[in-house]
Amino acid sequence: MVIVWLEEVRSKDVALVGGKGASLGEMINEELPVPRGFAVTAHAFRQFLDNTGIAKSLFESLEIDVDDSEALKNAAKKAKSLILNAEMPSEMRTAILDAYDKLCERESETVFVAVRSSATAEDLPNASFAGQQETFLNIRGGKAVLEAVKKCWVSLYGARAIFYRAKQGFEHEHVNIAVIIQKMVDADKAGVLFTSHPTSGEPTTIIEAGWGLGEAVVSGSMSPDNYVVDRRTKKIVQRHIATKNLMHVKDKDTGKTVQKKVPDDMMDKTVLTDGEVMKLTELGEIVENHYGTPQDVEWAIADGKIYMLQSRPITTIQIKDKEIKSGKVGELILEGIGASPGLAYGNVEIVSKLDELDRVGKGDILVTQMTTPDMVTAMKRAVGVITDEGGLTCHAAIVSRELGTPCIVGTKKGTKVLKDVKVVTIDGEKGHVYKGRLEQAIVKEEVAAPVARARQVTVTEVKVNISIPEAAEKAAATGADGVGLLRIEHMILGLNKHPLLYIKEGKSEEYVDELVKGIRTVADAFYPRSVWVRTLDAPTDEFKSMQGGEDEPVEHNPMLGWRGIRRDLSDVEHFKLELQAFKKLYSLGYDNIGIMLPMVQHPKELSKAKQIMVESGLDLDKIELGIMVETPASALIIDQFIEEGLDFISFGTNDLTQYTLAVDRNNENVADIYDESHPAVIKLIDHVIKECNRAGVKTSICGQAGSSPSMAKKLVELGITSISANVDAVESVREAVLRSEKAILLNIARRY
């Protein structure tokens, strides 16, 4: 049987149409609103391989050492060319085209369809290959449908899928693929819903919703609205309306799916009406009752009509209770520094060379010596990160925290210990790596996005640190009072082309535009809240590995070398490009941007920088200008900096600690004596706050210490103006600040 209509399919047909197809069939039979369509069966795929005679060479080409990335790439390439070049048997073509024509007849138009892969293992029909095969949206016309079917088949042999199956012990020959072809829902709004609470199992429905097609919500690339309904009282008990920046829609001219910015008047508007929330809850309840277990459902709304697009069981609720009550803990196989909190489990992917990054798929744990800016895309796919090197302020730690990905750094031997381990669970708070899959982590994974609580206002502002512009929306949704540090070097290193190469090639304008684009994304997300952008502060060793970075000097100790303001004042040409970017941003109306100079150690550096800024046409009377206090020198003579004139200072405690204590911040061997609350560091901070408060200069902190609630409490007591924390710590720091402020008031009141 080449094709089967979804309404003819039931759960028992998983081996024929895959889990996705079977669940759609069940929902149609329950008279739930599912877009009509058909499946090209897994059986048809086998027939294609056999009839065209490519089966033998295809499976032979997959017999490789999957750890050899070149061989893996070649196998995927060979499979692709075999499938795409083989002619589909004519009865098969006709069956698919006839079914598509029928679908068009039913709808009285040449319909746009979604062509979705639904892989399944013959002997293990419920094996999950979710997310490894592809989906093609907005496909129209018989020829395009046939092409998309073949592309779905090809995706069964993508490098990552081959690698995953080999590591999991699946025989390639026994894994099949069906293709679902369904009328496309041109969604005005879409999202996901949990029919019951994913951790407690309580009958509360949690709905996430965004504008346009569901891709942006499902992939987590934007913050969706979040609605919680108590199914017992039939009341909406919580409603969090997010600022929604992105949406995926069908391009009217080309018919292709495109990503676009949400129009201004829709960004903060609630996506769902109360009626829609209740209707979705009701439909979710029907799906749950049908399956007898809580479900995770993808839905869409087009022209006011609701559609259910997919349903999967949330199977972990009971497991969690059992496991946690029994106190079962897995085998601890590795320890490091917990750098980004959260639990995650997944397949271990050890990356030692950049060309191996493709192997890191959605849901994997990335293990490497130390991450670099080239790895950010792979870090976004990974559910966890483990590194051999680094401390709390290294690249892996900073980026993982912004992505909300659990991360453990400084394990010293992760890449060795995990060499022969397939699956691990990581606890990014404790820094623990366990062998296998711990159920607690599974539960955690199923938890819906946190429901925002009413924000408490504090007098001491609580801000957030950002390094990758993509994290801006999420950071802004914390309700932070602004950005206390925007690091631009991650953005620049991510370009992978040395700024000097842009200059050499006469493409300075392009470079300036890249800076404007990145900074603007953050300034937009926070407007009118202030965003302090730090000028370049990258050590030479990181710049050297960029394309065109060959001329970077080799420094014995880059941390104490040509970085921060000292670099900008001697490489004035580059500094001027940064200033050009700021000028452009101000002319575009971003009056919320402040400029912060890093690594200063003498007031003359501040005065020289100001002179170049004025020469470059910046109006310093209109711009908030400040310095990072991260050298003991700047702290000790802060009065002289104040005299030179500045609006704010921000403590860079990562560096201030390393330079005060002479302890390398990235060296795991001395991590135990790296202490930001060392009395000497606190003494410097106290001195600077006192001097600044006397002169009316704002004080802030953007080092890692600002993310610690106990440090926040101390800083409020010392009189700091604001605290800038990592995105995951904004909430706890705000609570600590609030408590500290109240305690101060209470103590005064009690004295009278």
* Enzyme catalytic residues: 395, 702
Identify whether the C-beta of residue 1 lies closer than 8 Å to the C-beta of residue 42: no
Residue among 179 and 483 whose Cβ is closer to ligand PEP: 483
Per DSSP, 668 falls in state: G
Choice between 411 and 631, CB closer to ligand PEP? 631
338 part of the interface to ligand PEP, by CB under 6 A: no
Residue whose CB is less far from Mg ion, 133 or 634: 634
- State which of residues 41, 118, 196, 654 lies at the interface with ligand PEP (CB under 6 A): 654
CB closer to ligand PEP, 294 vs 652: 652
Q: How many whole angstroms separate alpha carbon 396 and alpha carbon 379? A: 9
Number of residues that bind ligand PEP (CB under 6 A): 11
Q: Which CB atom, from 444 or from 487, has the smaller least distance to ligand PEP? A: 487
Determine contact, residues 509/460, Cβ cutoff 8 Å: no
- Cβ 541 to ligand PEP shortest distance, Å: 14
Residue 116 contact partner, candidates ligand PEP, Mg ion, none, CB within 5 to 8 A by sort of partner: none
Residue 262 vs 486, nearer CB to ligand PEP: 486
CB atoms within 10 A of CB 235: 11
Q: Which residue lies nearer to ligand PEP by CB, 361 or 499?
A: 499
Stretch in the footprint of ligand PEP (CB under 6 A) among 249-257, 304-312, 382-390, 653-661: 653-661
Residues in the chain: 752
Tell me the window of 265-273, 278-286, 441-449, 648-656 that interacts with ligand PEP (CB under 6 A). Answer: 648-656
CA dist 400 and 396 (Å) reads 6
653 counts as binding ligand PEP under rule CB under 6 A? yes
Other Cβ atoms closer than 10 A to 374: 14
* 655 near ligand PEP (CB under 6 A): yes
Q: Which two three-digit tokens encode residue 625?
A: 């200008």
479 binds, among ligand PEP, Mg ion, none (CB under 5 to 8 A by kind): none
703 binds ligand PEP (CB under 6 A): yes
Q: Report the candidate in 306, 314, 294, 292 with the shortest Cα–Cα distance to residue 11.
A: 292
Stretch near ligand PEP under the rule CB under 6 A, chosen from 37-45, 344-352, 359-367, 646-654: 646-654
Taking alpha carbons only, the member of 95, 76, 77, 82 closest to residue 146 is 95
Whether the Cβ atoms of residue 389 and residue 367 lie closer than 8 Å to each other? no
Q: Which residue number, 120 or 654, has a Cβ lying nearer to ligand PEP?
A: 654
When CB distances are held under 5 to 8 angstroms depending on the partner's kind, the choice from ligand PEP, Mg ion, none that residue 390 binds is none
Query: Which two structure tokens, joined as six digits, stand for 540?
Result: 């030479």
Instruction: Tell the smallest beta-carbon distance from residue 281 to ligand PEP (Å).
Output: 45
132 binds ligand PEP (CB under 6 A): no
- Residues lying near Mg ion in the complex (CB under 5 A) are found at 630, 652, 655
CB of 562 to ligand PEP, least distance (A): 14
**Cα–Cα dist 61/75, whole Å:** 6
Residue 635 CB, nearest approach to ligand PEP (Å): 13
Considering the complex, what minimum distance in angstroms separates the CB of residue 704 from ligand PEP?
Answer: 7
| Chosen from ligand PEP, Mg ion, none, partner binding at 702 (C-beta under 5 to 8 Å by type) | ligand PEP
Residue tagged 């600022």 (tokens): 243
207: nearest Cα among 224, 188, 227, 183: 227
Q: Does position 702 bind ligand PEP by CB under 6 A?
A: yes
Least Cβ distance, residue 630 to Mg ion (angstroms) = 5
Task: Pick the binder of ligand PEP from 204, 347, 393, 634 (CB under 6 A).
Answer: 393
Helices (H) and strands (E) in the chain, counts: 29, 29
Distance, CA of 240 to CA of 476 (rounded, Å): 14
703 binds, among ligand PEP, Mg ion, none (CB under 5 to 8 A by kind): ligand PEP
**Exactly one of 37, 198, 224, 652 binds ligand PEP (CB under 6 A); which one?**
652
Phi-psi region of 664 (alpha: psi -120 to 50; beta: other; left: phi over 0): beta
Residue 243 is encoded by which pair of tokens? 């600022």
**Which amino acid does the sequence have at 16?**
L
* Residue 487 near ligand PEP by CB under 6 A: yes
Question: Do 386 and 366 meet the contact criterion of CB atoms below 8 Å apart?
Answer: yes
Q: For the CB of residue 337, give the shortest distance to Mg ion in the complex, in Å.
A: 18
DSSP letter for each residue of 260-323: EEPPHHHHTS-SS-HHHHHHHHHHHHHHHHHHTS-EEEEEEEETTEEEEEEEEE---HHHHHHH
Task: For the segment 533-552, give every residue that binds ligand PEP (CB under 6 A).
Answer: 537
630 binds ligand PEP (CB under 6 A): yes
With a CB cutoff of 8 Å and minimum separation 6, the contacts of 593 are 519, 523, 530, 531, 532, 533, 582, 585, 586, 623
Judged by the rule CB under 6 A, the positions of this chain that interact with ligand PEP are 393, 485, 487, 537, 630, 652-655, 702-703
